[in-house]
Amino acid sequence: MNITITTPLYYVNDKPHLGSTYTTIACDAYSRFQRLQGNTVEFVTGVDEHGQKIQRTAQSHQITPQVHCDKISLNYKELWKKWDITYTSFIRTTSPSHQELVNQFFDKVVKSGDILLGNQQGWYCVGCEEYKDDPPDSKSPCCPIHLKPLEWRDEENLFFALSKYQSKIESLVAQPSFIQPLSRRNEILNFVSKGLRDFSISRKNVEWGIPVPGYKGHTFYVWFDALLGYLSSLLPMQNKINLADLSHYGWPASVHVIGKDILRFHAIYWPAMLMSAGLELPKKVFGHGFLTREGQKMGKSLGNILDPELLLEQYGKDPIRWYLLSDIRFGQDGDFQQKRFQDLVNNDLANTIGNLLNRTSTMSRKWFDNGTPDFDINLEDSNLKLLAQESITSSLLAYEEFDFKTVCETVIKLATESNVYLNNTQPWTLIKEPSNKELVGYYLYNVLESCRIIGLLLLPIIPDTGSSILNQLGYTEQIDNWSDHIKWGVLSKGSILPKPTPISKKIEE
């Protein structure tokens, strides 16, 4: 099966922040899971490089917009490399192939009769690059997201006939599977029920953008331009752009993963644009929540922004990935708390999983010739085996739903119960009687096999730690498709176990 997943195309007004890193890590975990399922994955990310905000930011630094975009875009690519993000396409909306696709798409929409010339009046947020429908009743209203004054605009624009697609969009957003999680769906249903209005797709007096063919002085509105990056990212750049080829290169998207603040653009405007151009619609839009820090919104003025590059240097990839995906229900808002981060990483990875693997491997090496136990007894299936099988089933279902928190909870439960199993069976006591060696081998093998299942289930979320667990079990098989691996009883009896080392370092105060 072919899977196409996209992050948003991140706006290059500034360097990457923890919010964009969070989204990308989640998409990476989902992509790794789908590859392990044997699916072909197109993982699209990239940057949105046009618009007035970029133009003004570049001017404030006394450089050209292109130089600014080149610098910030490189920051994103370098950061994703450091985080080992497994994307397959990185699109820049300043690329010539993207501009060609935008022009082709616009031509199709024009031929559908969906482009109108008119005037746009209203309060505009440069940060959001959008008009605000109902700003506060004030002479100088502010954007509720950026907390900066809105600007009054009155200008000639081109409009897309969104109102024409009212009934089709109503039917689309009413489908439970289209907008996830379901809590986001109600927001969109409410917005659509009030009646869709045509929206502006061009700006005048904004030089930094793609010129609109046939309309002098107009450049494409950044959102009309940026959404099309999902298409241009898939088409081979060395060939002449042809929208008819999209189905051969991974379109439609299986899921767009975005922040909840841009849900309207992806769940309403984007599908209508695709309908107008006669193209297939994405199958799902997943809107996740915002991150705060210690209960406060992150911002430069507060001095509390978490730099993903510094976090990476200080703690490494997997501890941050574990915290973000295990402590926060993906789709809901989350709060980054330093103390909780340290406690979770130390308790879950270093103690619960790490100590389990270390002590079981040490006992097995000591009593079974530096290897996994080789025993020849048949007993009824252990409770640990049954729990491991249940853990596999529930984790696979949770991965499909972007429910990373449930996967993490399931893994920790399996590790916790494996520790309980050891304490209940007490192999260190049984081994004192030579006749019990076969039984001790059976008990230790069950725990080691649970550790192998844990390592496999962790591969999408914390890939380095998952691989470390498997390596310490002497399980070095190439795992491209885990169907033959993620089942009970695969660990070889009598195989050599490497000397145990910590799979996760404790984070000190």
- The tens digit of pLDDT for each residue in 235-249 reads 887 667 788 889 899
Phi then psi dihedrals of residue 145, to 5 deg: -90, -50
Q: What is the pLDDT of residue 239?
A: 67
**In the chain, what are the domains?**
2-289 (3.40.50.620), 338-484 (1.10.730.10)
Name which of 29, 78, 8, 496 is nearest 253 in CA terms: 8
Name which of 199, 125, 192, 121 is nearest 161 in CA terms: 199
Predicted confidence band at 29 (pLDDT cuts at 50, 70, 90)? very high
Q: Determine if residue 109 is left, alpha or beta; phi over 0 gives left, psi from -120 to 50 gives alpha, anything else beta.
A: alpha
In percent, how much of the chain has pLDDT > 90? Answer: 79
What is the pTM assigned to this prediction? 0.93
HSE of 384, CA atoms in CB hemisphere, 13 A:
26
Asked if 277 contacts 319 with a C-beta cutoff of 8 angstroms, the reply is no
List, as residue ranges, the binding site.
Answer: 125, 128, 143, 146
Q: What is the pLDDT of residue 134?
A: 63
> For the segment 75-95, what is each residue's pLDDT rounded down to a tens digit?
999 999 999 999 999 999 999
Please check the confidence at residue 120 and state whether its pLDDT lies above 80.
no
List, as residue ranges, the binding site for Zn(2+).
Answer: 125, 128, 143, 146
Strand 199-200 to 202-204 pairing: unpaired
When pLDDT is averaged across residues 325-345 and rounded to a whole number, the result is 94
Asked if 157 contacts 204 with a C-beta cutoff of 8 angstroms, the reply is yes
Asked if 284 contacts 255 with a C-beta cutoff of 8 angstroms, the reply is yes
User: How far apart are the C-alpha atoms of 232 and 361, rounded to whole Å?
Assistant: 50
* Joined tokens for residue 146: 């950026």
Predicted confidence band at 302 (pLDDT cuts at 50, 70, 90)? low
3-state secondary structure of 40: strand
